[in-house]
Amino acid sequence: MELKLTNSKLPFAPLLLIAPFFFWGTAMVAMKGVIPQTTPLFMAAMRILPAGILLILVGIILGRPQPKSKLAWLWILLFALVDGTLFQGFLAEGLVRTGAGLGSVMIDSQPLAVAILSLWLFQERIRFWGWLGLGIGIIGISLIGLPDEWLGNLLHPETIEVSLGIDVLFHNGEWLMLLAALSMAVGTVLVRWVCKYNDPVMATGWHMILGGVPLLIMSAEFESQQWVNIDQYGWVAMGYAAVFGSAIAYGLFFYFASSGNLTSLSALTFLTPIFALLFGNFFLGEVLSSLQSVGVGLTLVSIYLINQRDVLAEKFKFSIFKQEEENLDKPTQKPSLLP
């Protein structure tokens, strides 16, 4: 990490550095636990609407500038549609059909899509370690997302549709999580233009509010009894996901991102699914199959390689140059003269 934690004015800075990823992972578990009591779209709206209002209030207190131009609001609206409505909608619907830990792994596979989009849009180099990470990630996500029976019948592809039905694949919660990850990846790329015309904190707050409104409207139109069955523990879980899993997590993330290396900070993304897997197993009794466990491990390795591809490339390059310098510095032995 290239973050100057020793110079940070916040107490317990190392713990606070990990806090956003802890909150994001445990928020997945909280949301999964409250799903039986509510509806997914309502839960998605209640996660980001209060968080957006909190961020806007904090931004006003800190004197952050509000969006002013039409172009600034246009980018926020696009950001809200992709990273707010689509991302949270797919995430909540996917949680109905998959576990919190497994869903978190799928969500945090978005660096794979970000790397490809950055290569296409910004000509950013992926390098050897990035391509290696992408390959490992594709294998890992396949082990997670494809049914175990499909993977076992790869040698007999003609039996796949007969034994399971092709519609099983597209109604699988893991694929909804992949759509959520893709939405988040597109939103991550859009941030470059959003922050060009807006303050990042205010843009994040407004995109949560504007992205949550369509979710609330769709919930009122297509869902019923959204809050009738929610008990006090359910409201606490939803409040935790909104306050800690969104507002505080994003606030801490932006604080450290502004005082250090965002690439290095993003390398800690792999902690989110680890926290989700641990707490999902402890509180919800979620257990992965053996193939899914292997897929989770490969996906975490992939995320690390992609986030750290530049660092690994420099280290590997430095080690080669250092070895060459050591070879050049060695005294060369003069050949003995034979009589």
What is the per-residue pLDDT across 277-293, written as a single tens digit (0 to 9) for each?
Answer: 888 888 888 777 787 78
Helix axes 40-61, 232-242, angle to 10 degrees: 50
Tens-digit pLDDT profile for residues 116-169? 776 776 666 767 887 887 788 778 777 766 666 655 555 555 554 544 444 554
Angle at CA of residue 30, ends 175 and 47, nearest 5°: 80
pLDDT at 45: 94
Q: Which domain holds residue 99?
A: 29-323
What integer pLDDT is reported at residue 209 of this predicted model? 95
- Whether residue 331 is contained in a domain is answered as no
Q: Is residue 86 part of a domain?
A: yes
Q: Tens digits of per-residue pLDDT, 242-254?
A: 999 998 887 777 6
pLDDT at 320 over 70: no
161-166-169 Cα angle (round to 5) = 125
Question: Does residue 127 fall inside a structural domain?
Answer: yes
HSE at residue 272, side-chain half, CA atoms within 13 A, is 28
> What pLDDT score does 337 carry?
46
In a domain, 305, yes or no: yes
Q: Check if the beta carbon of residue 256 is closer than 8 Å to that of residue 265.
A: yes
Q: Would residue 256 count as lying in a domain?
A: yes
Per-residue model confidence as pLDDT tens digits over 200-258: 889 889 999 999 999 999 999 999 888 989 999 999 999 999 999 998 887 777 667 65
| Residue 292 lies inside a defined structural domain of this protein | yes
In three-state secondary structure terms, 155 is: coil
- d(CA 245, CA 27) in angstroms, rounded, equals 5
Q: How confident is the model at residue 339 (pLDDT cuts 50, 70, 90)?
A: very low
Query: What pLDDT digit, counting tens, does each position of 6-36 carry?
Result: 445 555 666 777 888 899 889 989 998 999 9
In a domain, 41, yes or no: yes
AA identity, residue 6: T
Domain count within the chain: 1
- Name the token pair of 89: 């909608």
Q: How far apart are CA 334 and CA 114, in angstroms?
A: 55
Higher pLDDT, 305 or 82: 82
In a domain, 339, yes or no: no
pLDDT digits over 47-58, tens only? 999 999 999 999
**Which pLDDT score, from 0 to 100, does residue 276 have?**
83
Average pLDDT in the 319-335 region? 54
Residue-level pLDDT at 328: 55
Read off the pTM.
0.74
